[in-house]
Amino acid sequence: MARLIVMGGGVSGHTAATFARKWLGDEHEVVVVTPNSQWNWIPSNIWVGVGQLAKEDVVFSLAPVYEKAGIDFKQAKAVSIHPHGNKESDKEYITIEYTGQDKEGQTEVIEYDYLINATGPKLNFDATPGLGNGKGHLGEHTVSVCTADHAVHASLELNQIFEKAKKGERQKILVGTGHGMCTCQGAAFEYIFNIEHEANKAGVRDMLDIKWISNESFMGDFGMGGLHMKVGGYVVSSKLFAESLFAERDVPWIIGAHVNKVEAGKVSYELLDGTMGEEEFDFAMLIPPFAGVGLKAYDKEGADITSNIFAPNGFMKVDAKYDAGAYENWKASDWPRTYQNPDHSNMFACGIAFAPPHLISKPASSVNGTPINPTPPRTGMPAGIIGKAVAHSVCDLINKGKEAHLHEASMAEMGAACVASAGKGLTSGTAAAMTVYPVVPDFEKYPGTGRDTDYTFGEIGLAGHWIKHILHHMFIYKAKLKPGWTLIPE
């Protein structure tokens, strides 16, 4: 009998746990440790944030799904990893602290044979003074759409802004990134366009000044160093594509910006050229920077070995090349393939939880030395594919023995399909449908753009919206493990 523990039941961990359960015999155990009772299809939080969907439309309870599947569900957060056991035993274990199941605050030790870390990001609001509340949560001055509850709050606040606009009060809306080292610009991008779309529908667009603020050094960087895509027979930069979408909607931008302070109705920021600025707002949605969730690791004697297992940003070290050095030396092959921890062959990380070897975008810092560059995105599709590959590896190690070949899923050999909503509506909605292949550019294989331009494209239209809509239903269906769920690709 072997026990696999999956820490984190989000996009990547849920994929890993459900496939592992399907591939492992009943004699083996799959345990999921995750703090929320509900699974959230995060991409649709955007529509919750503009009042087009309710929270209930984007979440479902995990317990019945896991019970039916035969997965042991612990509503708890993982606290520490003990990969060498302790003084009494060599057996590996983790400690957890319950957040539900009527055991709130209780701690427990669970031994494991294999461990998958899929704990995703810590939403590090406190990295920017005023963006957080000083206790690790969202502060009082801005809103967020990163969780379903945040999105509900954002929608209520936005509604008030629309009401004021209807009464003839001009309102300022600011959307973007709340720190120089943020990722996930795509989510903010979707949110600003959905606000614009809803404002038009509500007849208040003329009363709103909507502005974008981002740490990208150019529009359309998206943390991937931008992309070149085939449009109308030309290969064009995502810069032109993104700028065009903003100009069309009369949304000006501040880019290369590190937001360094948030106060009531005002952000302060530093730009790449070193200048400092301020921007006022009545409503702001600023994405926080991401960090690892703060798991600790200890050796047999109880000594802290967190820095051996985790990178300084809190993400878990895997089989990546972390010493590539300067940008000029970066290669596609620096990116991990198996996501196995180099020191512990029974430990893996998938989704946002693994430590990338370096940025994808060209590093940049202001003339004052402040780093201002997007960190690498790990969107839903790569998170799912990596989760599945890691589960496959663990199952083979259990079923075939320790010499089994590990499955590979490098982000430098994997594409991503992204559909960025620009407004909801079955006949009036639009979305930018994009594919990028590979996610991490490979300049040895594609010396010009780093990517295969036959498979890197983007276009905006109603078709994209329909796809986004279908994806919403399809992925929730898949995550609920309804009949045929394995046929739906990640």
Residue with tokens 């649709």: 44
176 vs 292 by CB, closer to other proteins: 176
Q: Which does 60 bind (CB under 5 to 8 A by kind): ligand FAD, other proteins, none?
A: none
Q: Which helix (H) or strand (E) holds 213?
A: strand 208-213
The site string for other proteins over 322-361 (x = CB under 8 A, - otherwise) reads ----------------------------------------
Nearer to ligand FAD, 259 or 471 (CB): 471
Which one among 79, 202, 235, 240 touches other proteins, defined by CB under 8 A? 240
Q: In 3-state terms, what secondary structure has residue 387?
A: helix
Cβ 206 to ligand FAD shortest distance, Å:
27
d(CA 443, CA 97) in angstroms, rounded, equals: 45
Residues 252-281 interacting with other proteins (rule: CB under 8 A): 252-253
Verify binding: residue 378, ligand FAD, rule CB under 6 A: yes
Closest by alpha carbon to 392, among 113, 22, 11? 22
Q: Cβ 96 to other proteins, closest distance in Å?
A: 32
Q: Applying CB under 6 A, which of residues 383, 385, 394, 432 lies at the interface with ligand FAD?
A: 383
What is the footprint of other proteins within residues 432-471 (CB under 8 A)?
Answer: 433, 435, 437, 455, 457, 459-464, 466-467
Partner from other proteins, ligand FAD, none binding residue 35, C-beta < 5-8 Å depending on class: ligand FAD
Q: Kindly report the CA angle at 81 between 78 and 83, in degrees rounded to 5?
A: 150
What is the torsion angle, in degrees rounded to the nearest 10, for the CA atoms of residue 328, residue 329, residue 330 and residue 333?
A: 150
210 binds, among other proteins, ligand FAD, none (CB under 5 to 8 A by kind): none
Residue 69, H or E segment: helix 62-69
Q: 382 or 450, CB closer to ligand FAD?
A: 382
Beta strand spans in 85-164 (E): 93-98, 107-111, 114-117, 122-123
Q: How far apart are CA 199 and CA 192, in angstroms?
A: 11
Rounded to an integer, what distance in angstroms lies between the CA atom of residue 3 and that of residue 126? Answer: 36
> Are 211 and 172 within 8 A, CB to CB?
yes
What element of type H or E holds 431?
strand 431-436
Q: Tell me the two tokens of residue 195.
A: 């606000």
> x/- contact string, 84-123, with ligand FAD (CB under 6 A)?
----------------------------------xxx---
**Which of these ranges, 28-36, 154-162, 391-399, 436-444, lies near ligand FAD under the rule CB under 6 A?**
28-36
Q: Which long-range contacts (CB under 8 A, 24 or more apart) does 218-223 make?
A: 218/255, 219/243, 219/246, 219/253, 219/255, 221/185, 221/361, 221/374, 222/185, 222/186, 222/189, 222/374, 222/377, 223/183, 223/184, 223/185, 223/359, 223/360, 223/361, 223/374, 223/375, 223/376, 223/377
Pick 352 or 395: Cβ nearer ligand FAD: 352
Given the rule CB under 6 A, which of 43-51, 318-326, 365-373, 425-433 is the region that contacts ligand FAD?
A: 43-51
Question: For residue 285, what are the CA distances in angstroms to 29, 96, 120, 138, 252?
Answer: 41, 32, 21, 11, 16
Q: From the list ligand FAD, other proteins, none, which binds 432 (C-beta under 5 to 8 Å, kind-based)? A: none
Task: Look at residue 160 and give the partner it binds from ligand FAD, other proteins, none, a contact being a CB closer than 5 to 8 Å depending on partner kind.
Answer: none
Residue among 183, 379, 393, 430 that touches ligand FAD (CB under 6 A): 379
Q: In the range 470-489, which residues lie near other proteins by CB under 8 A? A: 489
Interface size with other proteins, residues (CB under 8 A): 35
**Under 8 Å CB-to-CB from 321, ≥6 apart: which residues?**
331, 333, 334, 357
**DSSP per-residue letters across 440-470:** S--TTTSTTTSS-TTS-EEEEEHHHHHHHHH
Closer to other proteins by CB, 156 or 247: give it.
247
Contacts with ligand FAD, 330-369, as mask; x by CB under 6 A: ---------------------xxx----------------
Rg of the chain (C-alpha set): 22
**Which stretches of the chain bind ligand FAD, using CB under 6 A?**
7-13, 33-36, 42-43, 45-46, 77-78, 118-120, 145-146, 184, 187, 293, 351-353, 378-381, 383, 418
**Which stretches of the chain bind other proteins, using CB under 8 A?**
240, 243-244, 246-248, 250, 252-253, 381, 385, 409, 413-417, 427-428, 430, 433, 435, 437, 455, 457, 459-464, 466-467, 489-490
